[in-house]
């Protein structure tokens, strides 16, 4: 079991606070803002065992050092990118596990948004913390990887169980939905998800987490292997990675 708390920060970030109840162990995923985390920790007695980082961008690591100083927590992040994580305590690679009390996270390397990006998968809890790799109805921009690299990363996430909840790092869903509908307007599951997302946002409710099953059904970036979507983009017969790359290019220029 894992208690998972959503901590909104900045304009549209979600930091995720995890507490394993049998041990009281606490972790936070991608604490861009230390103050937000400290405020949430105080009713829990101030304990913080681990920072679990997905990648080095400031909105994900900005609170690392202040939190370490305030709580004595340890910092875990990608070994391949350790040089960009000041004061990192544990560098992890694909397949490594990290214990949080009785729970355990497995590391999945998901490069593309950045070259060191990793995702943290709590298999028993059906919880995936994927940073800026996969968003609801979207995916991260390719700052340090090409389309093939990102498609391979997304394909690894798609192989997880459909019931997996996708705890991504940003509330981008509504804007993502507008692009998704522009490229895939007749896809019924997407239209249904759009209606749901609009209603949630209209009352200020979060759209995250979704499930991996929902994303596989609705998210155009995960549907790059669907021949109907390829044909709609004028790419009939192209590889899924090529279709994915075209979708990403179009999204980059979408207003």
The residues that are catalytic are 55, 57, 59-60, 113, 132, 170
- Between strands 74-78 and 138-139, the pairing is unpaired
Provide φ and ψ at 60, rounded to 5°. Answer: -115, -25
- In whole angstroms, the minimum distance from the beta carbon of 61 to Fe ion comes to 10
Does 56 engage in binding with Zn ion (CB under 5 A)? no
Residues 115 and 16: their CA atoms lie apart, in Å, by 22
User: Which of 19, 56, 57, 223 is in the footprint of Zn ion by CB under 5 A?
Assistant: 57
- For the four alpha carbons of 5, 213, 60 and 56, in that order, the dihedral sign comes to positive
Q: Closest approach of Cβ 53 to Zn ion, in Å? A: 11
**What angle, 0 to 180 degrees and rounded to 10, lies between the N-to-C axes of helices 64-71 and 34-41?**
30
Q: Which stretch binds Zn ion (CB under 5 A): 51-59, 69-77, 190-198, 199-207?
A: 51-59
Residue 214 interacts with, from Fe ion, Zn ion, none (CB under 5-8 Å by kind): none
Q: How far is the CB of 217 from Fe ion (least distance, A)?
A: 25
Asked if 27 and 48 count as a contact pair (C-beta separation under 8 A), the reply is yes
Enter the tokens of residue 39. Answer: 């405020």
Q: Is 132 in the site for Zn ion (CB under 5 A)?
A: yes
Ranges within 193-222 binding Zn ion (CB under 5 A)? none
**Shortest distance, position 58 Cβ to Zn ion, whole Å:** 9
CB atoms within 10 A of CB 155: 15
Which residue from 20, 33, 49, 59 is in contact with Fe ion, where contact means CB under 5 A?
A: 59
Residue 150 token pair: 């990102």
- Partner whose binding site includes residue 117, from Zn ion, Fe ion, none (CB under 5 to 8 Å by kind): none
Q: Which is nearer to Fe ion, 59 or 184 (CB)?
A: 59
Q: Does 125 bind Fe ion (CB under 5 A)?
A: no
Instruction: Give the burial class of 234: count Cβ atoms within 10 A of its Cβ; 0-12 exposed, 13-18 middle, 19 or more buried.
Output: exposed
| Interface with Fe ion (CB under 5 A) | 59, 132
| Interface with Zn ion (CB under 5 A) | 57, 132
């Amino acid at each position: 079991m894992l208690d998972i708390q959503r901590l909104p920060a900045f304009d549209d970030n979600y930091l995720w606070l995890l507490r394993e109840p049998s041990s009281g162990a606490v972790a936070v995923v991608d604490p861009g803002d230390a103050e937000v985390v400290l405020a949430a920790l105080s009713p829990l007695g101030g304990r913080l065992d681990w920072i679990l980082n997905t990648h080095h961008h400031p909105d994900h690591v900005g609170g690392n050092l202040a939190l370490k100083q305030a709580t004595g927590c340890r910092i875990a992040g990608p070994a391949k990118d350790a040089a960009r994580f000041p004061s990192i305590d544990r560098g992890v690679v694909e397949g490594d596990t990290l214990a949080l009390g009785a729970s355990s996270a497995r590391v999945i390397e998901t490069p593309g948004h950045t070259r060191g990006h990793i995702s943290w998968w709590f298999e028993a809890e059906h919880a995936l913390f994927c940073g800026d790799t996969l968003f609801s109805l979207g995916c991260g921009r390719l700052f340090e990887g090409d389309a093939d690299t990102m498609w391979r990363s997304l394909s690894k996430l798609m192989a997880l169980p459909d019931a997996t909840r996708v705890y991504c790092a940003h509330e981008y869903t509504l804007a993502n939905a507008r692009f998704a509908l522009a490229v895939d307007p007749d896809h019924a599951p997407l239209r249904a998800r759009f209606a749901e997302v609009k209603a949630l946002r209209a009352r200020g409710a979060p759209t995250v987490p979704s499930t991996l099953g929902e994303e596989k059904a609705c998210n155009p970036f995960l549907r790059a292997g669907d021949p109907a979507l390829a044909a709609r983009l004028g790419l009939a017969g192209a590889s899924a990675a090529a279709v994915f790359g075209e979708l990403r290019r179009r999204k980059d220029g979408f207003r």
